[in-house]
Amino acid sequence: MSEDTSGSGYVESEYRRDSKYLSDRITADGSSGWPVEPGRYRLVIARACPWANRSVIVRRLLGLEPVISMGMCGPTHDERSWTFDLDPGGRDPVLGYERLQQAFLARDPQYSRGITVPAMVDVPSGAVVTNDFPQITLDLSTQWTAYHREGAPDLYPEHLRDEMDEVMERVYTEVNNGVYRCGFSGSQRAYDKAYERLFTALDWLEERLEHRRFLMGGQITEADVRLFTTLARFDTVYHGHFKCNRQKLSEMPVLWAYARDLFQTPGFGDTIDFPQIKEHYYVVHADINPTQIIPAGPDTSGWLMPHGRDQLGDRPFGEGTPPGPVVAGEEVPAGHGPGGIAHR
């Protein structure tokens, strides 16, 4: 449900994610009714959200900025919707909306499910096409190939897909969603079970990554993108706020080096806004943090420490090349990266 806890709640004291998304797809042949078309769609994200962060990274790695514009919501939301409070006048400059909810209601005036990011919006109609976050990134890789930049990586290689799908499913259920299962547990028993599942999976990842640079071997794939957005938030919010506290990421030597390797790769760390991440979790999750006080720490300067993973050889982008500089207007604000200001 992409960072919006409304409508999910607790079932038998265990957290259950609302996964009822608008599942339309934007396809190269247009058979879905939504054809790939440069300039037609706007990707709406929030930097705080790990699910939206995936689409920001993939769009950047593939060089799709010239053909898919991006709108950014602020780090907090109320029960109704994410809002465009970072934009002048509090309105998205392309869609003209104050709230992402307006795009969902343009699609279905009776829409009553979660208003989530990321969302792909059809600019001419102002209506959401899809908020199915796992499929959005796969389609950016497989359906928008005509518009990938020269040197773009193959993030979903056909010969690896069967194994990748299995790895990504385990990463999703046990890690990406596992931290939420800990944080929103409604009983001690549910929390203990969730905690054990999470750290069992993290131990598996430590072992898997000890002698391979990336999850699928020698170069970055979608699987790494999906794991990275959770790791980037682990010490900052999940360790304390969600009680995922057996160890910090910085105390898991293989995963910490792997995460730093990705963070220091263009397209990854330059999408991470630590103050917005903290503001979202500590303010929006008032049931967990009733005071809504945003902690000053942790120190994030360690993300820039040498990682040593290049000793494993391999090339992050295979035969391709890293993306260029961040597009003007999409930069993470100065001071919001490693070692920057504590919070807004």
**In this structure, what CATH number is given to the domain that contains residue 68?**
3.40.30.10
Known catalytic residue at 73: no
Question: Residue 343 pLDDT more than 80?
Answer: no
Tens of pLDDT along 31-78? Answer: 999 999 999 999 999 999 999 999 999 999 999 999 999 999 999 998
Average pLDDT over residues 220-246: 98
82 marked as part of a ligand binding site = yes
Dist CA 1 CA 13 (whole Å): 18
Residue 2 pLDDT class (50, 70, 90 cuts):
very low
Strand partners, 127: 122
Least confident of 52-56, 202-206, 304-308, 310-314: 310-314
Dist CA 112 CA 203 (whole Å): 39
Dist CA 202 CA 214 (whole Å): 15
Question: Residue 334 pLDDT more than 50?
Answer: yes
Dist CA 55 CA 60 (whole Å): 8
Number of structural domains, the chain?
A: 1
| 33 backbone dihedrals φ, ψ, rounded to 5° | 95, -10
Dist CA 132 CA 155 (whole Å): 18
What is the predicted pLDDT for the residue at 5?
A: 42
Among residues 41, 97, 180, 281, the one annotated as catalytic is: 180
Where helices occur in the chain by DSSP H, the ranges are 50-62, 101-107, 133-142, 161-170, 178-183, 188-208, 222-233, 239-241, 253-263, 274-284
Amino acid residing at 181: R
Question: Residue 251 pLDDT more than 70?
Answer: yes
Range of the domain at 46: 10-147
* CB neighbourhood size of 209 (10 A): 21
Distance of CA 280 to the CA centre of its chain: 13
What is the predicted pLDDT for the residue at 20?
A: 81
Residue 291 pLDDT class (50, 70, 90 cuts):
very high
Residue 133 lies in a domain: yes
Known catalytic residue at 238: no
Residue 12 pLDDT class (50, 70, 90 cuts):
low
Residue 6 pLDDT class (50, 70, 90 cuts):
very low
Residue 117 lies in a domain: yes
Residue 52 lies in a domain: yes
Residue 316 lies in a domain: no
**C-alpha triplet 117, 9, 278: angle, nearest 5°:** 50
Residue 8 pLDDT class (50, 70, 90 cuts):
very low
Residue 258 lies in a domain: no
Dist CA 151 CA 317 (whole Å): 8
Residue 80 lies in a domain: yes
DSSP state of 231: H
Token pair, residue 71, equals 């709108």
- Which of 240, 245, 260 is closest to 309 using CA atoms? 260
Residue 341 pLDDT class (50, 70, 90 cuts):
low
Residue with tokens 């969902």: 104
Tens of pLDDT along 16-35? Answer: 887 789 999 999 999 999 99
Residue 27 lies in a domain: yes
Q: Do 7 and 184 contact (CB within 8 A), yes or no?
A: no
Average pLDDT over residues 266-279: 98
Residue 116 lies in a domain: yes
Average pLDDT over residues 143-147: 98
